Amino acid sequence: MQLPFPAPVRSLSPTALSAPRAYRGLYAFHKYWGKKPSEPNQYLIQHLCPERGLVVDPFLGSGVSAFEAVQLNRRVIGIDINPIAIKIARLLVSPPTTGSLVQAFQQVGTLVKNTILESYFTSEGKVATHYVWQNGRMQKVWLRNGSSRNRVELQPTDHDIALSARFESYQPRLLGSPRFFTNSRINTSPSLTLKDLFTGRALHNIELLLDAIAELPMADQEPLKICLTAAVGQMSKMVFAITNRGKTIGKRNDYMEVGSWVIGYWRPAQHFEVNVWNSFERKVRRLIKAISKLELAHITTRSGDVSAVCSGEADCSLIIGDCLQLLPQLPDNLVNLIITDPPHSDRIPYLELSEIWNVILGEQPPFESEIVVSNAKERSKNERAYNQAMLRFLEIVSHKLRKDGYLVLFFNARTRSSWHFFESYLKDEGNVGMVYRGCFPLVYSALSVVQDNRKGALRTDYGLVFSRSVASDRCLAEIPGWSSKIPESLK
């Protein structure tokens, strides 16, 4: 199948790793947690894996490594236990054409746009774009001011309140019940429901969108479902109001701005209810724009299963599953480069944070198999189990690499105990699988709210490099900040 991709990338300078670009285009389309910059993936794939060589990412996340590998004419196998991660990665690696996406969106609009917009009509027949709520009471109704970017703010009328009340008792008929745990860090408990996170009107309209998407050909459904997951946070009660800008510098501004779904499932007392159709449309148009901006060049990409990629009969295989179960199925001594960003102890509870996305997709992820340290005690995901799983991971991949192969882990953890798997592997005198080569700082183009929201949180990660041989590699030594020593976190 012919897929549109940017023209082949020129060799990347190692200095680019110290000044990565901000996420843009397809990379910026979805909010998936814990994205890494593309430059380290691109540079390391270029220099540590030959053309048509095999790249494997066992914790694929948002798919940056898979996208870079395909662009650079490498075969790639990506694995992630999180269904939404693999579906985003598939969209990244194999985006739809702008024409098919526009046509599919227009069909959805024909089916449900007017019905959804009618649920936001004011008494004068105008469409509200936002409602401001405070402790369960509607405070403001916002409208567009014609073609102007300015807004009109109105006091809610009896009509506005009654219209909202019509949907209060709405019970989801398509969306399953999310699975939440007792995790105060991300504001969840087993009793948390979709009704706690969304107004009845939002749930009603989200399901209208799902109904319309289900009428499309199968090939067109997935991109629009991913657009819906990308937009669903802004459709929730978790969109906070930004006020008092400039207060700290004595220039207080009372102008209210729309915040966003930031992290976890915090429901602020004052929040927005955003027009569902508008939120969905913005995400679809953003995806259309991202795809249309690609400098199109036809690259023949053959998707297949793992065995087909291993044999060279296919180029790309992206799989939902447990890497500790799937990696052993790879032949030994085959992989050129394993490059991955595993969960960093308790930094990001990926599956818990992704639950509303997976509910939209109708997916039920295997929480029991996730490699993570969770604050939810009922999950029994502690540091001991985490380190055992990560040590097992290192043992498995050491057999899958070629004699000239490399492993690159993007990693950091706040506590010394979360590094135990790394130290154990280095200290194991009987280990002859891989040699630790060194590390480099992983620089971000923007700070991550997930990364920086706790006291003592980390501002950077490391690229930890292992190899099967001890040959000298100039490409590693040229990376800014490269050190053959262990990370500073362990000194």
> How far is it, in rounded angstroms, from Cα 63 to Cα 94?
11
CB atoms within 10 A of CB 447: 10
Q: Which residues contact 146 (CB under 8 A, 6 or more apart)?
A: none
**pLDDT value at residue 33:** 86
Residue 97 CA: distances (Å) to CA of 62, 170, 230, 249, 355: 20, 36, 19, 48, 29
- CATH code 3.40.50.150 region(s) in the chain: 2-94+294-490
- What's the gap between Cα 207 and its chain centre? 23
Q: Is residue 407 within 8 Å of residue 397, measured between CB atoms? A: yes
Q: Is residue 139 within 8 Å of residue 156, measured between CB atoms? A: yes
Beta strand residue intervals within 199-350, DSSP E: 241-242, 257-258, 270-274, 297-300, 316-320, 335-340
> Which residues, listed in sequence order, are joined to residue 440 by a DSSP beta bridge?
463
> What's 2-94+294-490's CATH class?
alpha beta
> How far is it, in rounded angstroms, from Cα 165 to Cα 173?
19
**pLDDT value at residue 2:** 39
> How far is it, in rounded angstroms, from Cα 459 to Cα 451?
7
3-state secondary structure of 369: helix
**pLDDT value at residue 228:** 98
Phi and psi, residue 206, nearest 5°: -60, -40
**pLDDT value at residue 24:** 83
CB atoms within 10 A of CB 326: 17
**pLDDT value at residue 300:** 61
Q: Say which DSSP state 28 is in.
A: G
Q: Is residue 198 within 8 Å of residue 206, measured between CB atoms? A: yes
Query: DSSP string of 97-112?
Result: PHHHHHHHHHHHHHHH
**pLDDT tens, N- to C-terminus, the chain (491 residues):** 334 444 445 678 899 998 888 888 888 889 898 888 899 999 999 999 999 999 999 999 989 999 999 999 999 999 999 999 999 999 999 889 999 999 999 999 999 999 999 999 999 999 999 999 999 999 999 999 876 678 999 999 999 999 999 999 999 999 999 999 999 999 999 999 999 999 999 999 999 999 999 999 999 999 999 999 999 999 999 999 988 765 555 555 678 899 888 779 999 999 999 999 999 999 999 999 999 887 454 456 788 999 999 999 999 999 999 999 999 999 999 999 999 999 999 999 999 999 999 999 999 999 999 999 999 999 999 999 999 999 999 999 999 999 999 999 999 998 899 999 999 999 886 676 899 999 999 987 655 444 445 455 556 799 999 999 877 788 999 999 999 999 977 76
Q: Is residue 119 within 8 Å of residue 164, measured between CB atoms? A: no
Q: Is residue 376 within 8 Å of residue 182, measured between CB atoms? A: yes
Q: Which residues contact 12 (CB under 8 A, 6 or more apart)?
A: 39, 42, 43, 46
